[in-house]
Structure 1
Amino acid sequence: MAEVLGPLFFECTWDDLTFYKMEGRYFVRKKSRLTREKVLHHPAFAKTRFYANRLAVASKIAAAIYSDLPLHWRQFWMYRDFTGEAINRLNQEATPQEAYDYLWKTYVEYWVLYQQATGIPLQTGRKQQPVKRPKDYKTRLKHRNSNPKCCRYRRLIGRNHWKSSYDNTAELLEKERKRQAREKKLRWLEDQHRKGRYKAQEERWRKMQAKLLELPPEIRLILQSA
């Protein structure tokens, strides 16, 4: 690390050098070779991953405690303090459930007893999740079957088409109509070609039968026996 004295000052990375500002002074250092893959998988960063996971667990515990507090009383700095206390409990070999129970008895139990004693409900930050009925079919399929525009779209491009019912623009419909017409014409040409080939074979067979009947009986018997 070296200090930059001027006359130009930067806050960026240039080639293998990183220019940055710290406490009102400008410094330059060599660019770090640290990557995301190295932090996630290298054994040297095992403790970093361990404490990062512990911080994630502690933040979830703090969020649960913070959401149970009354809205008129809680402040955001409490969330940070709850996170620190949860980390301390986890560092003391406590389980996440034990850390949650400790914080709940310390900060939330008072308000629960207060509501029971006074009968005054307190509004907390925890959201009341409505009970949702499980869907037996996809919403898109329901929309496709109930919307009359989608019914017209389905009749035009086919029932099992992959496109969504929201793609029923005039341009897409016209392209799909032309594609189906082109495929129909190709199938018709193939059928005609097949019919013509069979017809030509039948015609050749009839000519051969006619020529065979014109031959004398002795030669006809020899050809049939062969």
Structure 2
Amino acid sequence: MPKQKGPIPITGTVKNTTYFSLNGQYYERRKSSLTAAVVATDPAFAASRRCNTVFATAVAIARTIYPQLPTHKRIAGAFGQLTGRVYQMVLKGMDADSIVTAILGE
């Protein structure tokens, strides 16, 4: 992605170009044709929608487990790792109560 040039950096979209800031640097890129409506309705994104639903379930379960963990286990990155483990358990068909019991029982 090319960096913006010029004295005044901008953010937003003008015609077919999107200007944005990332980590203190200003970039530009071509405007995407992908919209939320397309992702929500297009059959090509059906698998993505299913995965998002499973992930949302995993996050909700992890959110209830995390505060119950011992303080020394609540470190940087722990919530993400917990969510990943819960996600795998949800994919295997485990229900929320079984997941909570399995993780807190360790």
* Corresponding residue of 2:82: 82
Name whichever structure is richer in helix by fraction: 1
Query: Which structure is higher in RCO with an 8 Å CA cutoff and minimum separation 6?
Result: 2
Name whichever structure is richer in strand by fraction: 2
* Corresponding residue of 2:103: 106
Q: How many angstroms does 1:64 deviate by?
A: 3.0
C-alpha separation between the residues in 1 aligned to 2:101 and 2:66? 10
C-alpha separation between the residues in 1 aligned to 2:30 and 2:12? 12
* Corresponding residue of 1:47: 47
C-alpha separation between the residues in 2 aligned to 1:5 and 1:63? 43
Question: C-alpha root-mean-square deviation of aligned residues, in Å?
Answer: 2.8
| Structure 1, unpaired ranges of 5+ | 111-226
Q: Is the aligned partner of 1:15 residue 2:12? A: no
Q: 1:35 to 1:14 in 2, by over 3 A?
A: same
Q: How many angstroms does 1:26 deviate by?
A: 2.2
**TM-score normalised to structure 1 length:** 0.39
**TM-score normalised to structure 2 length:** 0.72
The structure with the largest alpha-carbon Rg is 1
- Secondary structure at the aligned position of 1:29 is classed as strand
C-alpha separation between the residues in 1 aligned to 2:65 and 2:103? 10
| Structure 2, unpaired ranges of 5+ | none
